[in-house]
């Protein structure tokens, strides 16, 4: 029995709340990255700057989740306290690129 297993035996985690919290983070990340793509297209960003915009937006959303959703204590709501910052950080990238390219073309008259 290694130390992590022993820790789980002493303080068991609730899988139900873990799934619910992960789902909430996933939903916010995918919806917000779609909207960030729309904004990047409207601003007419190109190449690396667009991807930088995505990461800036993701960091902003992470900060909001850290402050509002987890109330500054992410270790109480997730097994790893960095989940709010890095978890699902790339799930929205494909939808970001989709709406980015679409709105880039739409805005150009």
Residues 6+ apart with CB under 8 A from 4: none
Minimum separation from the CB atom of position 94 to another protein (A):
18
**Integer Cα distance of 93 and 48 in angstroms:** 13
C-alpha separations of 74 from 27, 59, 82, 86, 97 in Å: 17, 15, 8, 12, 29
Site string for another protein, 29-68 (x = CB under 8 A): --xx--xx-xx--xxx------------x--xx--xx--x
Nearer of residues 31 and 94 to another protein, judged by Cβ? 31
Residues that bind another protein (CB under 8 A): 11-14, 16-18, 20-21, 24, 27-28, 31-32, 35-36, 38-39, 42-44, 57, 60-61, 64-65, 68-70, 76-79, 103, 106-109
């Amino acid at each position: 029995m290694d130390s992590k297993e022993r820790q789980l035996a002493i303080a068991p985690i609730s899988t139900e709340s873990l799934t619910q919290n992960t789902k909430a983070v996933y939903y916010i990340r995918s919806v917000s990255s779609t909207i960030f793509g729309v904004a990047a297209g409207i601003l007419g960003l190109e190449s690396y700057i667009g991807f930088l915009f995505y990461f800036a937006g993701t960091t902003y959303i992470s900060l909001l989740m850290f402050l509002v959703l987890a109330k500054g204590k992410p270790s109480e709501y997730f097994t790893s306290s960095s989940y709010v910052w890095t978890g699902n950080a790339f799930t929205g990238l494909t939808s970001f690129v989709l709406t980015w390219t679409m709105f880039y073309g739409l805005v150009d008259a």
